[in-house]
């Protein structure tokens, strides 16, 4: 893993040393081109040169560079979206470095921010994992390489391809070319276009026909998972009859210095395939005064391309200063199924505008949306969703349930569902409620000797149960703890 | 926004001279609103509030301003007869007051009812506040408020209705807006100001009808203010002809413990848009709406309901049903805002819809925006078909499928009229609903 990174980093340095980006473009990089010098990134700024340089650093083929440039040119023409219920400070896209080599890592846990360690303690993260999360150089902590390789062998035996996006572009160009951008086109939206132009890395998963992936895939255990960077690009393809469950993120807060995260995730499910995508997002939310924090602007979309396919999104969103995210499913195949289960928690000055889109195109397609929003402090939490029944969606069915829980007097909880129905045989149902934790519930708990904070977390846990049930078990346990930690200080 | 000058509709609305001869402040306000319209132009679908209502077709048409011959148009009183509603009425033909068709004799004590044109000839000062702004409720210069602006600039007539404190109007007051065919396709405007004093009670019936199938564009802006403890029961029956484009905006402001109940039937028209806004500004205010929209043919009916809870212990309930057939489109937005500090608010909204035809469309968008925690807020929306089991039940009892469908669809809509106290009117309105159903 380190070899690859050093290789890329040194190339970046070499590029700058070689007086000009353009000149470097035509160069080919032999495998032997490895020098052991300190890694650096590209300087801040964004233009076609940056993109060519980035592409060259990653040793991408010509078609990839062109693809990025096309996205970039489109991005330049796009207005910034302003429809979400979010206050976003202007972002200076020229101030961002679009290829950051791995940052200087702390040598041991002693150098890590004590606040971070305290949180790990509360979450019960195993000791050896804490170091990895805090960004301590991996080889010093535990042998993730060997863990990774063990998994890799097992996956390879099953025929599953699971690697970084950079690797996939080099190793499986025909697959990448076939599917990349086929769900989220380069010009889909402002942030997706930006991502297409400058994405740094991400995961690539390919499950061949009829294969049931032998284990749950997780970025956390993947080699090269570190520093996939702020512009992550993930592509998961499940061929006919394939099954896969993918876990993204981690319950523990990750040390991270990138301000803007604009990721794109594309899922493709062919006939009879099933993809389950679970996310726990806990990026730095900013402090209790709303200073700092990550902007999490993500485009996630699944395409149920084949008949009888199924895509299921489950997300627990507790981090980030601003979340702008709508994992969607295009239900193209007949009888395909889309699901969205979400818990979004905001506290202090956090803002979330999140939800889903279910686009029903095929006959007898079904979708289910369960969204639980919890707002505390001075935060703002919005559900925004679209259910669209197109003309061909004969007998299609949707059920949506959106519940909001308010904790405190200064927060906001909002619901903006859109329903567009063009087929008279389709059925769409939407229900939403907003409430606070009732005094009766609190009184009941308190009278049985349960402390105020414990009572709140119990009630919140009950409120979210429907979503937690959809998470892989160990994630569900951690998600519950995560909510407790995130809600600290929300009452009393 | 579109370039106003490039669109024939905007051009024709701007071309005619503004009504003049009013108080100086009114003439100034008209010029200002006209300028605002000229600058902003017509809303397009990129503006959220107009996302589902495209003005493309309408924007390409030209309408002649006002009807100079309105006073002489032959209008049969039978055209707007409404069983169960006898009492004072004010009738407007193409936006112009018609004394000969109106009935003002039976006005109860404490109720003052006169056309705006007349009120402006007298002491216009009490109207200054309302007429200086495009609409009392909501922000004056929201994007997409073009029609309220053009109405504020152009409307020369309308209703001024005041109910004095503690006065009770037993017989319903009826406001009738007739669109009558003229030599040219007309645009006309009406501006209504309705005020209920403290503890006043009013039954109000608002009717929109047409004579002839000619295309028209009408804008109506109504401000309704309810003083403390005032009560308003308001029925709106919109049954205009297929050529009528009606763009209405009603703003209600409810003070402490005031109560308003609205029943709205949207049946006719070509492009119909109703912005219905209520601000619950006094503690304990209550606002209840029941509505049915039934677009068929190529009709487009868009209802934008927005309720703002701004005070303690306010209550709102909204139940709306939509039935779309043929190639028609029904649009509904039901937005509830609970402002910071509006504790004890209780808001409930539901919108259920039936799609009867493969070419029809329903777009619905219930919204909740909640900034207070001591609240109960819920909404629900459905789009679907008649319940299969209910159909089966009726058929198993020997009722043919078509009849069973008609029966259930009628019941689906009629439920919205159940709590209308005027039984005769209720039966008449039910009849209108049933007549609208596909055979």
pLDDT in tens, B106-116: 888 999 999 99
pLDDT at A257: 54
State the average pLDDT over residues B352-372: 95
Is pLDDT of A116 > 70? no
What is the rounded CA–CA span in Å between residue B342 and residue B293? 31
**Phi-psi category of B66—alpha, beta or left, where left has phi over 0 and alpha has psi -120 to 50?**
left
Residue B27, domain member (yes or no): yes
Give how far Cα B398 sits from Cα of B193, B269, B402, Å: 53, 37, 12
Partner A contacted by B384 (CB < 8 A): yes
pLDDT at A114: 67
State the average pLDDT over residues A285-304: 87
Work out how many domains chain B is built from and give that number. Answer: 2
Is pLDDT of B246 > 50? yes
**Percent of chain B at pLDDT exceeding 70:** 97
State the average pLDDT over residues A119-144: 50
State the average pLDDT over residues B185-202: 96
Are residues B277 and B415 both part of a single domain?
Answer: no
Q: Per-domain residue ranges for chain A?
A: 31-325
Pairing verdict, β B361-370 and A412-421: antiparallel
Is A435 in Cβ contact with B377 (below 8 Å)?
yes
Give A319 or A116, the one with higher predicted confidence.
Answer: A319
Question: Which pLDDT band holds residue B272 (cuts at 50, 70, 90)?
Answer: very high
| Residue among B361, B373, B383 whose CB faces A408 most closely | B373
| Residue among B52, B356, B368 whose CB faces A432 most closely | B368
Q: At what angle do helices A452-468 and A439-447 cross, to 10 degrees?
A: 120
pLDDT at A471: 85
Cβ atoms of A297 and A61 within 8 Å: the answer is no
pLDDT in tens, A151-177: 777 888 999 998 888 889 999 999 999
Cβ atoms of A132 and A144 within 8 Å: the answer is yes
pLDDT at A20: 41
Beta strands in A129-216 (DSSP E): 161-164, 203-207
Question: Which pLDDT band holds residue A283 (cuts at 50, 70, 90)?
Answer: confident
pLDDT at A7: 39
Residue B210, domain member (yes or no): yes
Distance from CA of B337 to the nearest CA of A (A): 9
State the average pLDDT over residues B205-231: 95
pLDDT at A104: 52
ipTM attached to this prediction: 0.89
Give B435 or A39, the one with higher predicted confidence.
Answer: B435
Global model pTM greater than 0.80: yes
What is the rounded CA–CA span in Å between residue B365 and residue A419? 6
Structural domain for B396, as ranges: 388-439
Which of B282, B307, B330 finishes a domain?
B282
Dihedral angle over CA of B79, B82, B88, B93, nearest 10? -30
pLDDT in tens, A189-200: 999 999 999 988
Which of B282, B305, B329 finishes a domain?
B282
| Residue among A404, A414, A421 whose CB faces B383 most closely | A421
> What is the DSSP code (8-state) at residue A139?
G
Cβ atoms of B158 and B188 within 8 Å: the answer is no
**Percent of chain A at pLDDT exceeding 90:** 49
| Residue among A411, A424, A428 whose CB faces B382 most closely | A428
pLDDT at A18: 42
Q: Which of B69-73, B216-220, B349-353 has the lowest mean pLDDT?
A: B69-73
Is pLDDT of A311 > 60? yes
pLDDT at A307: 97
pLDDT at A122: 65
What is the rounded CA–CA span in Å between residue B120 and residue B128? 10
State the average pLDDT over residues A76-80: 92
CA neighbours closer than 13 Å in the CB half-sphere of residue B3? 2
pLDDT at B83: 93
CA neighbours closer than 13 Å in the CB half-sphere of residue B13? 36
Q: Which of A141-150, A252-261, A345-354, B408-417 has the lowest mean pLDDT?
A: A141-150
What is the rounded CA–CA span in Å between residue B362 and residue B353? 7
CA neighbours closer than 13 Å in the CB half-sphere of residue A362? 23
Question: Which pLDDT band holds residue A41 (cuts at 50, 70, 90)?
Answer: low
pLDDT in tens, A358-385: 999 999 999 999 999 999 999 999 999 9
> What is the DSSP code (8-state) at residue A106?
P
Cβ contacts of B369 on chain A, cutoff 8 Å? 412, 414
Which of B267, B282, B297 finishes a domain?
B282
| Residue among A424, A425, A430 whose CB faces B380 most closely | A430
List, in order, residues 6 or more apart from A436 with CB less than 8 Å away: A405, A406, A407, B373, B374, B375
Is pLDDT of A419 > 50? yes
State the average pLDDT over residues B337-343: 95
Binding-site residues on chain A for chain B (CB distance < 8 A): 83, 389, 391, 404, 406-436
Are residues B278 and B392 both part of a single domain?
Answer: no
Partner A contacted by B387 (CB < 8 A): no
Residue B316, domain member (yes or no): no
pLDDT at A473: 76
pLDDT in tens, B280-336: 999 999 999 999 999 999 999 999 999 999 999 999 999 999 999 999 999 999 999
Residue of B nearest to A416 (CA): B367
- According to DSSP, the residues that pair with A333 across neighbouring strands are none
Distance from CA of A409 to the nearest CA of B (A): 5
pLDDT at A491: 66
Is pLDDT of A121 > 70? no
Give how far Cα B347 sits from Cα of A409, B313, B375, Å: 17, 10, 8
pLDDT in tens, A463-489: 999 998 888 776 787 788 888 888 877
Question: Which pLDDT band holds residue A125 (cuts at 50, 70, 90)?
Answer: low
**Percent of chain A at pLDDT exceeding 70:** 76
| Residue B150 CB neighbours (<10 A) | 27
Is pLDDT of A438 > 90? no
pLDDT in tens, B27-58: 999 999 999 899 888 998 888 899 999 998 99
Are residues B29 and B171 both part of a single domain?
Answer: yes
pLDDT at A138: 35
pLDDT in tens, B305-318: 999 999 999 999 99
Residue B197, domain member (yes or no): yes
Residue B198, domain member (yes or no): yes
pLDDT at A14: 38
Residue B322, domain member (yes or no): no
pLDDT at A128: 56
Residue B317, domain member (yes or no): no
Distance from CA of B307 to the nearest CA of A (A): 14
Q: Which of A198-207, B142-151, B390-399 has the lowest mean pLDDT?
A: B142-151
Cβ contacts of B45 on chain A, cutoff 8 Å? none
State the average pLDDT over residues A240-248: 92
Tally A–B CB contacts below 8 A. 108
What is the rounded CA–CA span in Å between residue A289 and residue B23? 53
């Amino acid at each position: 893993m380190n070899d690859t990174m050093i290789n890329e980093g040194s190339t970046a340095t070499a590029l700058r040393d070689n007086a000009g980006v353009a000149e470097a473009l035509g160069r080919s990089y032999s495998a032997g081109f490895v020098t052991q010098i300190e890694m650096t990134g590209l300087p801040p700024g964004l233009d076609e040169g940056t993109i060519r340089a980035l592409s060259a650093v990653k040793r991408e083929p010509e078609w990839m560079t062109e693809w990025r440039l096309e996205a970039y040119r489109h991005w330049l023409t796009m207005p910034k979206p302003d429809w979400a219920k979010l206050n976003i400070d202007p972002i200076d896209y020229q101030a961002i470095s679009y290829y950051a080599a791995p940052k200087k890592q702390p040598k041991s846990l002693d150098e890590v921010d004590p606040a971070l360690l305290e949180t790990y303690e509360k979450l019960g993260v195993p000791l050896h994992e804490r170091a990895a999360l805090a960004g301590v150089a991996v080889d010093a902590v535990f042998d993730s390489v060997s863990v990774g390789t063990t998994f890799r062998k097992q996956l390879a035996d099953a025929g599953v391809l699971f690697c970084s996006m950079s690797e996939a572009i080099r190793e499986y160009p025909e697959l990448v070319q076939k599917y990349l951008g086929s769900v989220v086109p380069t010009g889909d939206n402002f942030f997706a276009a930006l991502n297409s132009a400058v994405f740094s890395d991400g995961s690539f998963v390919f499950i061949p026909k009829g294969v049931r992936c032998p284990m749950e895939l997780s970025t956390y255990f993947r080699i090269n998972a570190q520093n996939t960077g702020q512009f992550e690009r993930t592509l998961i393809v499940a061929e006919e009859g394939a099954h896969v469950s993918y876990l993204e993120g981690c319950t523990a807060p990750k040390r991270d210095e990138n301000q803007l995260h604009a990721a794109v995730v594309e899922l493709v499910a062919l006939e009879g395939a099933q993809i389950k995508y679970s996310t726990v997002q806990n990026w730095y939310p900013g402090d209790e005064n709303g200073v700092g924090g990550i902007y999490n602007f993500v485009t996630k979309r699944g395409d149920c391309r084949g008949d009888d396919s199924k895509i299921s999104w489950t997300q627990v969103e507790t981090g980030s200063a601003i979340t702008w995210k709508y994992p969607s499913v295009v239900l193209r195949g007949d009888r395909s199924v889309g699901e969205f289960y979400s818990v979004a928690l905001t506290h202090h000055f956090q803002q979330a505008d999140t939800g889903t889109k279910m686009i029903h195109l095929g006959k007898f397609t079904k979708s289910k949306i369960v969204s639980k929003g919890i707002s505390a402090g001075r935060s703002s939490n919005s559900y925004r969703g679209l259910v669209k029944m197109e003309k061909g969606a004969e007998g299609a069915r949707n059920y949506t349930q959106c519940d909001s829980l308010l904790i405190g007097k200064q927060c906001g909880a909002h619901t903006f569902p859109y329903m567009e129905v063009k087929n008279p045989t389709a059925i769409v149902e939407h229900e939403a409620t907003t409430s606070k934790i009732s005094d009766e519930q609190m009184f009941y708990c308190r009278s049985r000797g349960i402390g105020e904070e414990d009572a709140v977390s119990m009630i919140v846990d009950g409120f979210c149960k429907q979503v937690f049930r959809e998470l892989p078990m160990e994630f569900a346990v951690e998600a519950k703890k995560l909510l407790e930690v995130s809600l600290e200080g929300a009452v009393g | 926004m579109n370039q106003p000058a490039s669109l024939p509709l905007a051009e024709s609305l701007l071309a005619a001279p503004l009504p003049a001869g009013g108080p100086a402040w009114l003439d100034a306000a008209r010029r200002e609103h006209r300028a605002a319209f000229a600058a902003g132009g017509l809303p397009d679908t990129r503006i959220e509030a107009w996302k589902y209502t495209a003005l493309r077709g309408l924007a390409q048409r030209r309408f002649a301003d006002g009807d100079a011959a309105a006073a002489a148009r032959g209008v049969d009183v039978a055209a707007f007869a409404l069983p169960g509603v006898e009492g004072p009425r004010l009738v407007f033909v193409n936006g112009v007051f018609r004394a000969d068709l109106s009935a003002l004799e039976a006005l109860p004590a404490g109720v003052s009812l006169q056309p705006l044109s007349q009120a402006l000839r007298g002491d216009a000062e009490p109207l200054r506040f309302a007429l200086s702004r495009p609409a009392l409720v909501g922000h004056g210069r929201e994007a997409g408020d073009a029609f309220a602006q053009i109405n504020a600039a152009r409307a020369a007539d309308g209703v001024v209705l005041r109910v004095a404190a503690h006065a009770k109007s037993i017989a319903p007051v009826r406001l009738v807006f007739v669109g009558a065919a003229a030599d040219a396709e007309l645009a006309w405007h009406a501006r209504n100001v309705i005020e209920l004093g403290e503890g006043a009670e009013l039954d109000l019936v608002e009717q929109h009808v047409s004579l002839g199938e000619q295309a028209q564009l009408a804008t109506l802006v109504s401000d309704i203010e309810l003083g403390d403890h005032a009560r308003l029961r308001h029925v709106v029956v919109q049954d205009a002809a297929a050529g009528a484009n009606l763009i209405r905006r009603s703003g209600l402001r409810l003070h402490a413990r005031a109560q308003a109940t609205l029943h709205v039937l949207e049946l006719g028209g070509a492009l119909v848009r109703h912005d219905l806004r209520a601000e619950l500004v006094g503690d304990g205010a209550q606002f209840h709406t029941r509505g049915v929209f039934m677009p068929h043919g190529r009709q487009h009916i868009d209802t934008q309901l927005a309720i703002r809870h701004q005070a303690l212990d306010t209550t709102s309930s909204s139940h709306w049903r939509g039935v779309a057939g043929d190639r028609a489109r029904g649009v509904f937005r039901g937005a509830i805002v609970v402002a910071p500090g509006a504790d004890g608010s209780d808001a409930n909204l539901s919108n259920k819809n039936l799609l009867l035809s493969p070419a029809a469309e329903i777009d619905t968008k219930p919204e909740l925006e909640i900034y207070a925690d001591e609240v109960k807020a819920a909404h629900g929306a459905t789009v679907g078909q008649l319940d299969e089991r209910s159909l089966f039940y009726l058929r198993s009892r020997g009722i043919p499928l078509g009849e069973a469908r008609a029966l259930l669809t009628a019941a689906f809509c009629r439920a919205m009229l159940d709590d209308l106290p005027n039984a005769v009117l209720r039966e008449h309105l039910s009849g209108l609903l049933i007549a609208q159903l596909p055979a």
